[in-house]
């Protein structure tokens, strides 16, 4: 039983990271109908920005909640800016082009970031500074909680709650939802669609960047190719939840994290990566709209 | 008109370049090195390269081989087998090297060996321990021990020194080295009467090992054998300690890197691994090498640097003895290496082209890797 609950905790904590990345996929898809494959690499950039910011302010020497929040905020800001640049230079010129062009461009951006990363940061793994530390361990009997893991989980949930608030309670969020509903109609209503799209990109990139820092904190080994697998997994999570649906992305990501954990724990560890893609194929075959997606009929 | 002249100039330039390449001076012997200068096993490649460079400088200062200077062409494979195969072909076909040194990782050496064999260019791997590497052909050699021996060293150590009754295995399923080493460990440990509690695996590059470790924890083993590379082992150790697993971890020479301590922190303390040599060895040969290495690079050489140094010197010594540097002559000379006195022990190449040598067990502590014991073959 303890083993089961321990697996449960582990699964939720890895799932919450997938959720942060999956949210970016789903939001960008919502407003642009574009799968942004470079999103996993923004997450990688987040980890490296966090690494350099922490080193620059020597946050590793005085670990505290303040250091963590400082690194997190600065990283989210720089990632948002990177997202803005990518959107402006790579996707905006393609706004009127067929959708497949933008999709292929996103694959190109992804490779560009991965290999530039290897060139600039070096491809050997780096140690992410411990900018936040809670001494001791939390345990109930044999159940061990890594305090860091719990912190990461709480921070991710908070970020998701803020996002929910932004989307459903603010003017900006209303504009995002309008753009996602219908571009042309939204712009006729006086909504600056291009600005809203850029903003969505920045929001998604900031979340991915936060994911990078939080992962660096718990798994302190970062390298330029670290975004590839989590990026694909988060994409699967977004599809599982119904791409374009914010709640769906979170539920999908947590389910994927749990499913992976149990497969590794009780079946064979080598199935970990296969599982995500099996889920992807099954969802696409039997319920292409995902768990929360609504069926849309193509207008002719 | 302008276009044509640019075209002509670039043609002449290209011709000039290729002409330069062809006129390799006659008094130089070119050898090739393939190693991971970047990538997830970069410290392996860099250490090995440093060791090789030190040896070559020494040999050249002492007059070279057969009166000619040695010239090393070193190419980066990023730790990738396909990349290594490509640069090996380049070294042989374009740079016309007479012999190749490399790689450290067995998976990568396994990709290089068939190419070296195909062109009949002798290849010496400094520290690939998987037995299959030298089985690729009679031109492939190594100056280190092989995994059946390394695995049995740790099995004996677990049984005799740690008094472990049951051991859990956590191995890297994508890595020939890790898979082979754990198999040999299991065979030996079983034959000593020990029990394998559970076998779990991961893939290199994973960052979360908690589910495997949770399953391992449930079986309450006395020790865990993790024969992977340092990048993953650091994280594995951290997560094991977070889950409250306090038993020692054990590993092989793939742990030997300063990054192990950097990533693993205090979590790797109290763990043991088998290795080729210990910097604490008081043998004057070792101390002399240590002093020279420190003077040149400012750091303590790890085993891979020592292996690189020995590999280059074994090659140079064989070249000196060989009647000519033609492939078969050089091959026979390397095969005849006997009682070569190296930094990592006496090297004798056996009929399977492997070196027969002793291994050491090191303990990870706060002030580095401490010598525990020596195990002879």
CB–CB contact A7 B39 (8 Å): no
Mean predicted lDDT score pLDDT of chain A: 87
Test the A interface: residue of B80, B168, B208, B209 with most A CBs within 10 Å: B208
**Helix, strand or coil, per DSSP, at residue B338:** coil
pTM, 2 dp? 0.79
- Is residue A42 within 8 A of residue A24, CB to CB? The reply is yes
Which part of chain B is CATH 3.40.50.2300?
28-145+283-357, 148-275
Closest to B167 measured CA to CA, from B249, B94, B266: B249
HEC readout, B156-176: HHHHHCCCCCEEEEEEECCCH
Span A57-103, pLDDT tens digits: 888 787 888 888 999 999 999 999 999 999 999 998 988 888 889 89
Span B144-196, pLDDT tens digits: 998 889 998 999 999 988 999 999 999 998 888 899 899 999 999 999 999 99
CB–CB contact B214 A265 (8 Å): yes
Percent of chain A with pLDDT over 70: 96
Q: Give the distance, in angstroms, between the CA of residue B243 and the centroid of all CA atoms in the same chain.
A: 32
Can you spell out the DSSP letters for B134-157? GGG-TTEEESS--HHHHHHHHHHH
Span A283-299, pLDDT tens digits: 889 888 888 876 655 54
Considering only CA atoms, give the Rg of chain A.
19
Bridge partners, B225 (sequence order): B169, B250
- Is residue A210 within 8 A of residue A46, CB to CB? The reply is yes
CB–CB contact B208 A219 (8 Å): yes
User: pLDDT band at B23, cuts 50/70/90?
Assistant: very low
Tokens, residue B172: 């890297």
Fold classification of A2-286 (topology level)? ABC transporter involved in vitamin B12 uptake, BtuC (1.10.3470)
> At residue B29, what are phi and psi to the nearest 5 degrees?
-105, 125
CB–CB contact B242 A146 (8 Å): yes
Question: Looking at chain B, which residue has its C-alpha nearest residue A123?
Answer: B39
Of the options 3.10.20.30, 3.40.50.2300, 2.30.30.140, 2.40.50.140, the CATH number for the domain spanning B148-275: 3.40.50.2300
The CATH H-level (homologous superfamily) assignment of domain B28-145+283-357 is Response regulator (3.40.50.2300)
ipTM of the complex: 0.76
The whole-number pLDDT of residue A133 equals: 76
Please tell me the least confidently modeled range out of A251-265, B12-26, B245-259, B314-328: B12-26
> Rounded to the nearest 5 degrees, what angle is found at the Cα of B142, between the Cα atoms of B139 and B146?
125
Tokens, residue B64: 């070279």
Span B333-364, pLDDT tens digits: 999 998 898 899 889 998 889 998 888 999 99
- Is residue A195 within 8 A of residue A54, CB to CB? The reply is no
Tokens, residue A58: 């020597």
CB–CB contact B231 A125 (8 Å): yes
Domain residue spans of chain A: 2-286
- Is residue A142 within 8 A of residue A2, CB to CB? The reply is yes
The whole-number pLDDT of residue A148 equals: 81
Dihedral sign, CA of B17, B22, B27, B32? positive
The whole-number pLDDT of residue B19 equals: 46
Test the B interface: residue of A1, A5, A6 with most B CBs within 10 Å: A6
Span A145-181, pLDDT tens digits: 778 888 888 888 899 899 989 988 999 999 988 988 8
Closest to B278 measured CA to CA, from B290, B262, B261, B265: B290
- Is residue B309 within 8 A of residue B289, CB to CB? The reply is yes
Closest to B126 measured CA to CA, from B149, B108, B144: B144
């Amino acid at each position: 039983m303890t083993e089961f609950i321990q697996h449960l905790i582990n699964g939720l904590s890895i799932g919450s990271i997938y959720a942060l990345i999956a949210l970016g996929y789903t939001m960008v898809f919502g407003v642009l109908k574009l799968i942004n494959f470079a999103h996993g690499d923004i997450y990688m950039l987040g980890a490296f920005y966090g690494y350099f910011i922490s080193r620059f302010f020597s946050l590793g020497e005085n670990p505290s909640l303040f250091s963590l929040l400082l690194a997190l905020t600065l990283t989210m800001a720089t990632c948002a800016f990177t997202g803005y640049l990518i959107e402006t230079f790579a996707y905006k010129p393609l706004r009127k082009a067929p959708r497949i062009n933008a999709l292929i461009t996103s694959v190109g951006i992804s490779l560009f970031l991965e290999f530039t990363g290897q060139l600039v940061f070096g491809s050997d793994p780096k140690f992410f500074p411990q900018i936040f530390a809670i001494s001791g361990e939390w345990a109930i009997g044999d159940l061990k909680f890594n305090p860091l893991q719990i912190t990461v989980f709480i921070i991710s949930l908070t970020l998701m709650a803020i996002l929910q608030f932004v989307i459903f309670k603010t003017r900006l969020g209303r504009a995002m939802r309008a753009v996602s509903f219908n571009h042309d109609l939204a712009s006729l209503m006086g909504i600056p669609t291009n600005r809203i799209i850029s903003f969505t990109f920045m929001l998604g990139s900031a979340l991915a960047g936060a994911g990078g820092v939080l992962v660096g904190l718990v798994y302190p080994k970062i390298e330029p190719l670290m975004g590839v697998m989590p990026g694909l997994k988060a994409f699967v999570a977004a599809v599982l939840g119904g791409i374009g649906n914010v709640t769906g992305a979170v539920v999908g990501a947590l389910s994927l994290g749990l499913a992976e954990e149990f497969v590794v724990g009780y079946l064979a560890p080598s199935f970990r990566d296969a599982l995500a893609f099996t889920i992807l194929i099954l969802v696409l075959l039997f319920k292409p709209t995902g768990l929360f997606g609504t069926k849309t009929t193509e207008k002719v | 008109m302008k276009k044509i002249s640019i075209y002509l100039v670039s043609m002449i330039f290209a011709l000039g370049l290729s002409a330069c390449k062809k006129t390799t001076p006659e008094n130089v012997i070119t050898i090739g090195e393939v190693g991971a200068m970047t990538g997830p096993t970069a410290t392996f490649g860099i250490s090995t390269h440093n060791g090789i460079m030190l040896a070559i400088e020494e040999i050249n200062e002492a007059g070279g081989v057969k009166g000619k200077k040695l010239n090393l062409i070193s190419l980066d494979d990023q730790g990738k087998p396909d990349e290594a195969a490509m640069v090996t072909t380049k070294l042989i076909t374009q740079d016309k090297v007479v012999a190749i040194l490399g790689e450290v990782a067995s998976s990568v050496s396994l990709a290089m060996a068939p190419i070296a064999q195909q062109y009949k260019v002798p290849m010496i791997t400094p520290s690939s321990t998987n037995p299959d590497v030298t089985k690729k052909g009679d031109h492939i050699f190594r100056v280190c021990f092989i995994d059946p021996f390394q695995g049995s060293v740790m099995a004996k150590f677990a049984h005799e020194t740690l008094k472990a009754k049951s051991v859990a295995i956590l191995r890297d399923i994508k890595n020939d080295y890790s898979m082979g080493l754990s198999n040999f460990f299991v065979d030996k440990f079983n034959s000593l009467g020990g029990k394998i509690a559970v076998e779990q695996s991961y893939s290199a590059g994973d960052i979360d090992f908690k589910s495997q470790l949770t399953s391992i924890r449930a079986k309450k083993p006395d020790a865990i054998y993790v024969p992977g590379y340092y990048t993953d082992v650091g994280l594995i150790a951290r997560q094991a300690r977070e889950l409250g697993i306090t038993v020692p971890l054990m590993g092989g020479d793939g742990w030997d890197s300063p990054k192990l301590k950097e990533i693993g922190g205090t979590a790797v303390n109290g763990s043991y691994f088998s290795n080729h040599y210990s910097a604490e060895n008081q043998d004057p040969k070792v101390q002399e090498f240590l002093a020279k290495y420190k003077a040149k690079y400012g750091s303590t050489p790890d085993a891979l640097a020592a292996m690189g140094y020995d590999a280059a010197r074994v090659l140079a010594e064989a070249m000196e003895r060989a009647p000519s540097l033609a492939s078969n002559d050089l091959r026979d000379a390397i095969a005849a290496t006997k009682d070569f006195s190296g930094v990592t022990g006496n090297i004798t190449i056996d009929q399977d082209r492997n070196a027969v040598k002793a291994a050491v067990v090191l303990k990870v502590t706060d002030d580095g890797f401490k010598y525990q014991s020596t195990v002879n073959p």
